[in-house]
Chains A and B, each alone.
Chain A
Amino acid sequence: MIRQQTARLAAGEKDRMDETPLPKVEWNIDPAAWVDDHGDYLFRYALVRLRDDVRAEDVVQETLLAALQHLSSYSGRATERTWLTGILKHKIVDQIRKSCKEVPFEPSDTDLSEFDPLFERPDEFKGHWSDTLSPRIWHRSPEDAVQQDEFFGVLQRCMGKLPERVAHVFTLREMNELDTEEICSLLELSTSNFWVMMHRARMSLRRCIEINWFMKAK
Chain B
Amino acid sequence: MSELTITQKILRPFRRTILRTFPSCKEIVHIISASLDRDLTFREKCLMKMHLFACKPCVRYLNQSEFVSDAIKIMDDTEKTNLFAGSLSDAARLRIKAALATAAS
A and B: bona fide binding partners? yes
Listed in ascending order, the chain A residues whose CB lies under 8 Å from chain B are: 31-32, 34-36, 39-41, 43-45, 47-48, 53, 56-57, 60-61, 64-65, 68-69, 82, 85, 115, 119, 124-129, 134-138, 142, 145-146, 149, 151-153, 155-156, 173-175, 180, 195, 198-199, 202-203, 205-206, 209-210
Q: Point out the residue from B26, B76, B97, B100 that lies within 8 Å of A127, measured CB to CB.
A: B26
Q: Which residue of A lies closest to B78 (CB)?
A: A85
Contact B88 A39 (CB under 8 A): yes
B38:A180 contact, CB within 8 angstroms: yes
B contacts with A: majority SS: helix
Nearest chain A CB to B12 CB, angstrom units: 13
* A-B Cβ contacts below 8 A, count: 157
- Where chain A touches its partner, the secondary structure class is helix
Q: Say yes or no: A35 contacts B33, CB within 8 Å.
A: no
| B82 pairs with A41, CB closer than 8 A | yes
Lowest 9 A-B CB distances belong to which pairs?
A: A127-B24, A134-B57, A135-B60, A199-B33, A57-B92, A119-B26, A127-B26, A129-B57, A40-B87
| From B23, B38, B61, B88, contact of A60 by CB (8 A) | B88
Q: What is the CA–CA distance of A85 and B65 in the complex, to the nearest angstrom?
A: 28
Given known A57-B88, A127-B26, A174-B73, contact A65–B55 (CB-CB < 8 A): no
